[in-house]
Amino acid sequence: MDYREQWENFLNPEVFKDRLINISMYITIYEMLKDSIINRLKDFYAMTLIGAKDLEGEEEYRTKVLSRHKNHLYASISWLIENGVINKEDKENIEALKSYRNYLAHEMSNIVFQW
């Protein structure tokens, strides 16, 4: 695509809108996946201690999950692998999704202009 076509596409509201929607949908879906991984595990610890003080479940979650890594996603993935919920291939797939999400988020203006 030459420079003129890039500008025409960039200035075309339909093309511009479609590109932004596609990028934002991918980023949103990735963030939903990340939140699901983190929050379901956190909820697991809260649910196993029904009737216990709220702080007990939170403390166990911190000790058994969050202590594994400073990043909550990586800590959760580590726990899930150790407990046989996911495997290393799943982790690699999540990493690939994250890498592409980061590319889209950080290069959005270039992507929208050059597609």
For the whole model, what pTM was predicted?
A: 0.81
Q: How far apart are CA 56 and CA 46, in angstroms?
A: 8
The span from the CA of 40 to the CA of 74, in Å, is 14
Residues 16-67 have pLDDT tens digits of: 888 899 999 999 999 999 999 999 999 988 875 555 555 667 888 999 999 9
Helix (H) or strand (E) holding 50: none
| Structural contact between residues 57 and 46, judged by C-beta atoms closer than 8 angstroms | yes
| Residues 53-78 pLDDT 10s | 556 678 889 999 999 999 999 999 99
Other C-beta atoms closer than 10 Å to the C-beta of 48 total 12
